[in-house]
Structure 1
Amino acid sequence: MTYSLDEMTGIQALERVMPDIEMKPGRCVRVEFEYCRHGTQTLIATLNVATGRIDQATVGDTRTEKDLEAHLQALLAPVAEAPKIHLVMDCLNTHQSEALVRLTAALEPAPIQLGEKGKFGILQSMATRNAFLTNPEHRLVVHFTPKHCSWLNQIEIWFSILMRKLLRRSSFTSQAHLKAKILDFIDYFNRTMAKPFKWNYTGKPLTA
């Protein structure tokens, strides 16, 4: 199993003050430029690389360590017996948290002494947690994208689809309305549009 995960923060619930002017021959849809703000939401989404589906999505007010832990618990519950799970993420601090280390350790057949955060053992520092999470011998292996290269993560492609298909031109009356629309779009995407992305990046430098 290979998953691609990231957060999309600060998604604004913008309500247009006037309705769109519909398209007609020779004229595109015209979208009202004035809007009312109704706050923001954060989306945590996980793409199944093999199927192109969004296997888990969490929409809420925050993206804390606890939010990510709950998201991952829900993601991994149906595949708890998978022999190997690969998780691609960027280097955000919450992606190298104590909660994720404990979740990874819980998937191992034998108990692991993790130590104490900030003091000793695997939990001592971000560096020790990173080394544990990226250990290829574990059932859950995290692959961190290099700094400034989070675009290598395939979930970023899907975020651009979400932006173009839903967020850019829509009008949302509240945070609850925004959340419902995002989850509805994910359901629609999984049913009608999902397919594996054709990954054509060769790994060669983009500049000479």
Structure 2
Amino acid sequence: MPVALACPIAPSAAERERLKKMAYGHRTEHRLRVRAQVVLHAARGRSNARIARETGLHIDTVRRWRGRFAQAGLPGLRDRERCGRPASFTPVQAAEIKALACQLPAESGTPLSHWSCPELAREAVARGVAPFLSASTVRRWLTRDALKPWQHQSWIFITDPDFRLKATRVLDLYARTWQGEPLGEDEYVISADEKTSVQARCRCHPTLAPGQARAMRVNHTYGRGGALAYLAAYDVHHARVFGRTEPRTGITPFMSLVTQVMNREPYASAKRVFWIVDNGSSHRGQKAVARLRTAFPNTVMVHIPVRASWLNQIEVYFSDIQRKVVTPNDFTDLTQVRDRLRDFENRYNATAQPFQWKFTTSDLDDLLARLDRHTADHPEQSSDAPTA
């Protein structure tokens, strides 16, 4: 009987380049790499038997992929769709699990704060959604829709009726503008606040430095060495920090911080110095405004909106203090805490640059517009809260 001739292979230049990448690429799947090598051998005019010898494949395998490329080109090298094993669960069951994950456990009387994949699988079986269900199956279904019911994120709704006005004034000052007029060279913006309860925790065993494949080790047991308050004022446009430690916060410690800043140049002879503060008891309301203005006539106190500390740039500096100085808390006494805070302040001032503040009044308008749309869509969630 006559022997069947092998299918002639003549790939185009683009197909040949693609085949080479598949055959010799480091990230190509092994099965695709082998199939591409078969086609490249065939393109050189080699017989199926020779290709089988050189690649270590069965001749029927070589014949199959050579024929598929001759019929369909590069798409022919992919696996064909297979029916596979019948699905164990219906799309309706998967949808019911996703709907359950989008509900709070308390709504169904389950004594949980949030759902986990094993708890969802257990609850689904208890409700008769499926006779059996594994946590891995639930996790795979939730991953398709990026559902993570075991995570939570907190938020604060705007309650200050003058939020837009107050926030706009602060953002304008960051952009060196006040009431529509640009600030002069002899006008400054100070962001100030207090970091309360900086503790001195003396560890019962010395802290161990990090080593190879080992993180720094801090003993869990400690003795309390007291606590102090750290007050700081930050020159927004010149990136300079002025800080002091006090036994506690209050009007007198805050005014001491103001005096510390305002008695030095260039603030003492400045035309205006704007003090951006929150609504803490040390500087709340019009009494604090009048008290500051009486002590230093060239000062202007500007309050941020209620519960909007993220608008106060000094909080960025305090986050550095928390991460780089306070954590992990290992101090012998409060004197060491004071010295560390002072030394860090000097180190910071030596190299600091102004923060790249990117949140502008346009971003504020977009944020408030989204909140207004949310309020309109869900009036029951914010019926008691003032609008922005």
Report the TM-score when normalising by structure 2.
0.43
Q: Decide which of 315, 320, 332 is 1:161's aligned counterpart.
A: 320
Structure 1 residues 2-25: Cα deviation after superposition (integer angstroms, max 9, x where no partner): 000000001111111112222222
Counterpart position of 2:347: 188
CA contact (8 A) 1:47 1:53 kept: yes
- Structure-2 separation of matches of 1:149 and 1:103: 22
Structure whose residues are more often strand by fraction: 1
User: Among the aligned pairs, what percent are the same residue?
Assistant: 28
Counterpart position of 1:143: 302
- Structure-1 separation of matches of 2:291 and 2:225: 36
- Structure-2 separation of matches of 1:205 and 1:99: 30
Deviation at 1:186, TM superposition (A): 0.8
Which segment drifts farther, 74-83 or 5-14? 74-83
CA contact (8 A) 1:6 1:90 kept: yes
Counterpart position of 2:224: 37
Counterpart position of 1:199: 357
- Structure-2 separation of matches of 1:157 and 1:198: 11
- Structure-2 separation of matches of 1:18 and 1:160: 27
Deviation at 1:161, TM superposition (A): 0.2
Deviation at 1:106, TM superposition (A): 4.5
Counterpart position of 2:58: none
- Structure-1 separation of matches of 2:249 and 2:292: 17
CA contact (8 A) 1:22 1:30 kept: yes
Runs of 4+ in structure 1 deviating by more than 6 angstroms, as ranges, are: none
Which segment drifts farther, 71-80 or 157-166? 71-80
Structure whose residues are more often helix by fraction: 2
> 1:89-128, aligned counterparts within 5 Å?
89-96=277-284, 98=287, 101-108=290-297
Counterpart position of 2:276: 88
Which residue type is aligned with residue 228 of structure 2? Q
Q: Structure 2: any 5+ residue segments left out of the alignment?
A: 1-187, 372-388
CA contact (8 A) 1:69 1:100 kept: no
- Structure-1 separation of matches of 2:214 and 2:203: 20
CA contact (8 A) 1:16 1:34 kept: yes
- Structure-2 separation of matches of 1:74 and 1:100: 18
> 1:41-52, aligned counterparts within 5 Å?
41-52=228-239
Counterpart position of 1:64: 250
CA contact (8 A) 2:289 2:300 kept: no
Against the structure 1 CA distance between its residues 148 and 102, is the aligned structure 2 distance closer, same or farther, given a 3 Å change threshold? Answer: closer
Which residue type is aligned with residue 164 of structure 1? R
- Specify the SS of the correspondent of 2:367: coil
- Structure-2 separation of matches of 1:164 and 1:183: 16
Deviation at 1:80, TM superposition (A): 1.5
Against the structure 1 CA distance between its residues 106 and 44, is the aligned structure 2 distance closer, same or farther, given a 3 Å change threshold? Answer: closer
- Structure-1 separation of matches of 2:330 and 2:249: 24
Q: Structure 1: any 5+ residue segments left out of the alignment?
A: 109-138
- Specify the SS of the correspondent of 1:41: strand
Against the structure 1 CA distance between its residues 100 and 43, is the aligned structure 2 distance closer, same or farther, given a 3 Å change threshold? Answer: farther
Report the TM-score when normalising by structure 1.
0.78
Structure 1 residues 123-159: Cα deviation after superposition (integer angstroms, max 9, x where no partner): xxxxxxxxxxxxxxxx322111111111210000100
- Structure-2 separation of matches of 1:170 and 1:106: 37
- Structure-1 separation of matches of 2:328 and 2:284: 35
CA contact (8 A) 1:69 1:99 kept: no
Against the structure 1 CA distance between its residues 142 and 162, is the aligned structure 2 distance closer, same or farther, given a 3 Å change threshold? Answer: same
1:76 aligns with 2:262: yes
Counterpart position of 1:177: 336
Which residue type is aligned with residue 168 of structure 1? T
Which residue type is aligned with residue 271 of structure 2? P
- Structure-1 separation of matches of 2:208 and 2:336: 22
Which residue type is aligned with residue 316 of structure 2? I
- Structure-2 separation of matches of 1:22 and 1:94: 40
Against the structure 1 CA distance between its residues 94 and 84, is the aligned structure 2 distance closer, same or farther, given a 3 Å change threshold? Answer: same
Counterpart position of 1:17: 204
Which residue type is aligned with residue 197 of structure 1? F
Equivalences, count = 176
Deviation at 1:172, TM superposition (A): 1.0
- Specify the SS of the correspondent of 1:105: helix
